[in-house]
Amino acid sequence: MSEFVNTNPADFKGVWVFCEQRQGKMMPTSFELISEARKLADELGVEVCGLLLGSNVEGIAKELGGYGADKVYICDDPALETYTTDAYAKALCDAVVEKKPEIVLFGATNIGRDLAPRCAARLHTGLTADCTHLDVDMDIYKQFLRDNSTLPAERIDGLSKIKVNGEDHSVERDLKMTRPAFGGHLMASIVCPRFRPCMSTVRPGVMKRAEFDQAKADACVVEKLAVKIGPEDLHTQVLEVVKAAKELVDLTGASVVVSVGRGISKDVETGIKLAEELASVLGGVVGASRAVVDSGWMTADHQVGQTGKTVHPHIYVALGISGAIQHLAGMQDSEYIIAVNKNDSAPVFEVADWGICGDLFKVVPMLIEEFKAAFASKA
Amino acid sequence: MKAIVCVKQVPDTSGKVAVNPDGTLNRASMPTISNPDDMNALEAALALKDATGCKVVVVSMGPPPAEGMLHEMLAMGADEAFLISGREFGGSDTFATSQIIAAGIQAIGLDDDDVVFCGRQAIDGDTAQVGPQIAEKLGLPQVSYVAEIKKDGKDIVVKRMLEDGYMTIKVQTPCLLTCIKELNQPRYMNIRGIMESYSMPYTVLDYEALKDSPLIEADTIGLKGSPTNILTSFTPPQKGKGKMLEGADQEACHALVSELAEKHII
């Protein structure tokens, strides 16, 4: 590693995605990230490469091409069958040192968020966590700010360089990584001007998956990289991998999410039951605010928000959720938002398309009845 | 054997937050708390102390007011506290921060059977990067998202949570674990503990104390040593206010569902 010099950005080319698989099955976020990487690579005029680590995983490589990967590098080794930080960090850093990509994206999963910081520290480079938006092209980035920030126009127009150690640095070709900060109260765009590769983890469900193109999948080049993992590299041993007995709720994939907040506190059981019933009528799943999860009323896999999941379903129903910014950060890009809350000044009404100011225990049964009637008349 | 716990004092982002006109956070207007996940890390260390009699050392990096938090942790049962604090360390991103905390832990001394505990992530940045990066700088194996810990001879067996289940992992010591709230219920401090905490060992590690560490270089700490820079920060615009329905009765519900049906939203 000592011979790895990464302070000359011009030596580094290509956008990489760490394509996470579990038990030989590709994680959906890998397809989202390849799609996003395609967009960035086109702005830079470079290739998109997937990096796939595992054991006997060659069969799932080419599918990545269908979403925009020009090439997939595979590190195939029995030591990589199940994720360990030791083995994966070694293989990934070796690959980066050999091939010198300028950008490496990871899904912000429990594994991506373990691996990426370890690798960034080893490679001496910058990492930005849980990004929700990525740009290279300055004009596109500025348009994004015009549409999504309250920054004055002249501030946005003037963005082109930053001071790095007292000297002007142009951010034209740098990846602009935007993420929520301070519990989602602020957004920050971060750059990694001096070191390569620039690394970022991206929240699952945030980037849109491209249309799958079989011809591109067929054309995708697959190349195996040498893996050098010895026993001296391994200090952990996975004794078992257990799938959750209870099917965890798939919030990010759901087209309807009905979430409950502190408003259910006077009768938690009934509140959750009502949300479940409404969700089932609408063909959706049940989510929760941080307060509900922190109180132990629902498990963490239900949590929507800055520290939970980002969702953008077709319909989002917020029941008894006041709408702390950290919750809004996780749901405000939903297509349609319906909010029910007793307090008419609850911030959730600021982002809702329809608001009902009332007691959810009274309103939700009526809503369920109305939805049932509407579906019955359609059938 | 020691348990070293990395802790951070953070602004409480769960309540209302004031933003300055320039888009930065108005920290002065916000109360500070001990980072919630770090309390689970501390509890894990104290539980290890209860079981093995090991020493518990808490270490934090931050401005001098963090001393209050460290005294509370001594009152909860920690044996010794260190505050890494200095103007030279300001402006550090996660890379530079982990560089400095790793140097601090080396100054405290890391033995062959020690365990370093961190919270999964701090609520001000939510990055979850500093724990793994400290582990890398110290050359320690890491396990993150730890929800259960068992001692197994010289090794430690932990339950590591995934989104869709968990792994059971055996890790050699010394190692670093990042803890989640499912791991335990943090204990309370007692009043006597608070009084006693003021006579317990408390050390400030400033730049002078750490500057000879190979981890501490002008280009590896502080703003200058941070690989990432903030280009701009901003507040998102509020979406245009939607429609408030009149009343909260059957009629209102009917009107809403009819509109959704008419617009083919359902």
DSSP string, chain B: -EEEEEE-EEE-TTS---B-TTS-B-GGGS-EEE-HHHHHHHHHHHHHHHHH--EEEEEEES-GGGHHHHHHHHHHT-SEEEEE--GGGTT--HHHHHHHHHHHHHHH---TT-EEEEES--TTT----HHHHHHHHHT--EEEEEEEEEEETTEEEEEEEETTEEEEEEEPSSEEEEE-GGG--PPPP-HHHHHHHTTS-EEEE-HHHHTTSTT--TTTSTTTT-S-EEEEEEPPPPPPP-EEPSSSSHHHHHHHHHHHHHTT--
B214 has a pLDDT exceeding 80: yes
Establish whether the linkage from the previous residue to A204 is cis, with ω within 30° of 0. Answer: no
Give the 3-state secondary structure of chain A. Answer: CCCCCCCCHHHCCCEEEEECEECCEECHHHHHHHHHHHHHHHHHCCCEEEEEEECCCHHHCHHHHHHCCCEEEEEECHHHCCCCHHHHHHHHHHHHHHHCCCEEEEECCCCHHHHHHHHHHHHCCCEEEEECEEECCHHHHHHHHHHHCCCCHHHHHCCCEEEECCEEEECCCCCEEEEEEHHHCEEEEEECCCCCCEEEEECCCCCCCCCCCHHHHHHCEEEECCCCCCHHHCCEEEEEEEECCCCCCCCCCCCEEEEECHHHHHHHHHHHHHHHHHHHHHCCEEEECHHHHHCCCCCHHHEECCCCECCCCCEEEEECCCCCHHHHHHHCCCCEEEEEECCCCCCHHHHCCEEEECCHHHHHHHHHHHHHHHHHHHC
Residues B27-56 have a mean pLDDT of 93
Closest CA in chain B for residue A115 = B132
Q: Which of A131, A162, A182, A332 to mutate to test the interface with B (most CBs of B within 10 A)?
A: A182
Q: Which of A22, A26, A90, A113 to mutate to test the interface with B (most CBs of B within 10 A)?
A: A113
CB < 8 Å to B177, chain A: none
Q: Confirm if A70 and A34 have CB atoms less than 8 A apart.
A: no
Q: Confirm if A193 and A169 have CB atoms less than 8 A apart.
A: yes
| A306 contacts B266? CB cut-off 8 A | no
Least Cα distance to B175 among B160, B196, B188 occurs for: B160
Question: Of the segments A93-97, A295-299, B63-67, which one has the largest average pLDDT value?
Answer: A93-97
Give the model's pLDDT for residue B22: 59
| pTM of this structure | 0.86
Give strand pairing partners of A357.
A341
How many CB contacts within 8 angstroms connect chain A with chain B? 275
CA dist., res. A95 & res. A74, Å (int): 10
Whether A215 and chain B come into contact, CB under 8 Å, resolves to no
Report the residue from B25, B93, B163 with minimal CB separation from A182: B25
Give the model's pLDDT for residue A377: 84
Give the model's pLDDT for residue B243: 87
Establish whether the linkage from the previous residue to A152 is cis, with ω within 30° of 0. Answer: no
Q: Residues of chain B with pLDDT > 90: what percent?
A: 76
Give the model's pLDDT for residue B170: 98
A1 has a pLDDT exceeding 60: no
Give the model's pLDDT for residue A55: 97
Q: Confirm if A213 and A38 have CB atoms less than 8 A apart.
A: no
| A242 contacts B228? CB cut-off 8 A | no
- Side-chain half-sphere of B20: how many Cα atoms within 13 Å? 10
Residues A269-277 have a mean pLDDT of 96
Give the model's pLDDT for residue B27: 72
Q: How many Cβ atoms are within 10 Å of B199's Cβ, its own excluded? A: 8
CA dist., res. A28 & res. A253, Å (int): 10
User: Which residues, numbered 28 to 87 in chain B, qualify as contacts with chain A under a Cβ-Cβ cut-off of 8 Å?
Assistant: none
| B228 contacts A124? CB cut-off 8 A | no
Give the model's pLDDT for residue B14: 64
| B13 contacts A182? CB cut-off 8 A | yes
Q: Domains along chain A? A: 9-233 (3.40.50.620), 256-378 (3.40.50.1220)
Closest CA in chain B for residue A165 = B224
CB < 8 Å to A188, chain B: 230, 232-234
**CA–CA min distance A148, chain B (Å):** 6
From the number of C-beta atoms within 10 Å of its C-beta (0-12, 13-18, 19+), residue A245 rates as exposed
pLDDT digits (tens, 9 = 90+) for A157-210: 999 999 888 899 999 999 999 998 776 678 899 999 999 999 999 988 889 899
**Residue B123's pLDDT band (cuts 50, 70, 90):** confident
Give the model's pLDDT for residue A160: 92
Give the model's pLDDT for residue B183: 95
A361 has a pLDDT exceeding 70: yes
Q: Residues of chain A with pLDDT > 70: what percent?
A: 98
Instruction: Give the CA distances from residue B227 to residues A9, A119, A375, B210, B219, in Å, rounded to whole numbers and listed in that order.
Output: 13, 14, 55, 21, 10
Least Cα distance to B8 among B109, B125, B106 occurs for: B125
Whether B163 and chain A come into contact, CB under 8 Å, resolves to yes
Least Cα distance to B75 among B187, B205, B204, B203 occurs for: B187
B175 or B188: which leads in pLDDT: B175
A69 has a pLDDT exceeding 80: yes
Residues A87-102 have a mean pLDDT of 98
CB < 8 Å to B13, chain A: 182-183, 185, 326
Closest CA in chain B for residue A371 = B257
| B232 contacts A349? CB cut-off 8 A | no
pLDDT digits (tens, 9 = 90+) for A14-54: 999 999 999 999 999 999 999 999 999 999 999 999 999 99
| B167 contacts A127? CB cut-off 8 A | no
User: How distant is the alpha carbon of residue A114 from its chain centre?
Assistant: 14
**CA–CA min distance A182, chain B (Å):** 4
Report the residue from A113, A188, A351 with minimal CB separation from B239: A351
| B98 contacts A149? CB cut-off 8 A | no
Question: What are the φ and ψ backbone dihedral angles of A18, each rounded to 5 degrees?
Answer: -75, 110
CB < 8 Å to B173, chain A: none
Residues A208-225 have a mean pLDDT of 96
| B234 contacts A149? CB cut-off 8 A | yes
A282 or B18: which leads in pLDDT: A282
pLDDT digits (tens, 9 = 90+) for B236-259: 776 666 888 988 899 999 999 999
Q: Residues of chain A with pLDDT > 90: what percent?
A: 81
pLDDT digits (tens, 9 = 90+) for A322-355: 998 889 988 988 889 999 999 999 999 989 999 9
pLDDT digits (tens, 9 = 90+) for A113-127: 999 999 999 999 999
Whether B157 and chain A come into contact, CB under 8 Å, resolves to yes
A271 has a pLDDT exceeding 70: yes
CB < 8 Å to A186, chain B: 19, 23-25, 233-235
CA dist., res. B262 & res. A136, Å (int): 41
Residues A217-223 have a mean pLDDT of 97
Q: Confirm if B81 and B61 have CB atoms less than 8 A apart.
A: no
B199 has a pLDDT exceeding 70: yes
The rounded mean pLDDT for chain A is 93
Residues B109-119 have a mean pLDDT of 97
| A356 contacts B245? CB cut-off 8 A | yes
Q: Confirm if B128 and B144 have CB atoms less than 8 A apart.
A: yes
Q: Which of B29, B32, B254, B257 to mutate to test the interface with A (most CBs of A within 10 A)?
A: B257
Least Cα distance to A58 among A228, A222, A229, A227 occurs for: A222
The CATH superfamily assigned to B2-210 is HUPs (3.40.50.620)
| A374 contacts B230? CB cut-off 8 A | no
Q: Which two tokens stand for residue B231?
A: 């280009």
Whether B126 and chain A come into contact, CB under 8 Å, resolves to yes
The rounded mean pLDDT for chain B is 92
**CA–CA min distance B159, chain A (Å):** 10
| A149 contacts B236? CB cut-off 8 A | yes
pLDDT digits (tens, 9 = 90+) for B49-72: 999 999 999 999 999 999 999 999
| A189 contacts B227? CB cut-off 8 A | no
B21 or A87: which leads in pLDDT: A87
**CA–CA min distance B125, chain A (Å):** 6
Give the model's pLDDT for residue B23: 58
- Domain ranges within chain B, ordered by starting residue: 2-210
User: Which residues, numbered 274 to 293 in chain A, qualify as contacts with chain B under a Cβ-Cβ cut-off of 8 Å?
Assistant: 282, 290
